[in-house]
Structure 1
Amino acid sequence: MVSLVGSRKLKAQALLRLILTRSLALVLISVVVQTRAESVADVDSIVYAQDIKAAMYRHIDNVVGDDGRFNIVDDVTNEALILRFVQIHDPVRQIGDDVYFACTDFHVDGIKDKLYDVDFWLREEKGELIVFQTKIHKEPRNSLLYGWYKHPRYTFVNDAIEYLYSN
Structure 2
Amino acid sequence: MAEQALKLLATLDPPPDAVILMRDADKLSRRREGFEQARHAQPWRFPVVVGVAHTKRECWILAGYEPRDDAERALLERERKELGFDPRSCAEQLTASEDGAKRDAKRVLRALTGGDQQREEACMKEPPLAVLKQRGAATGLMNYLDEIEARLVPLFGQVAKR
TM-score, normalization by structure 1: 0.23
Q: Higher helix share goes to which structure? A: 2
Larger RCO (CA under 8 A, 6+ residues apart)? 2
Rg larger in 1 or in 2? 1
Q: Higher strand share goes to which structure? A: 1
TM-score, normalization by structure 2: 0.23
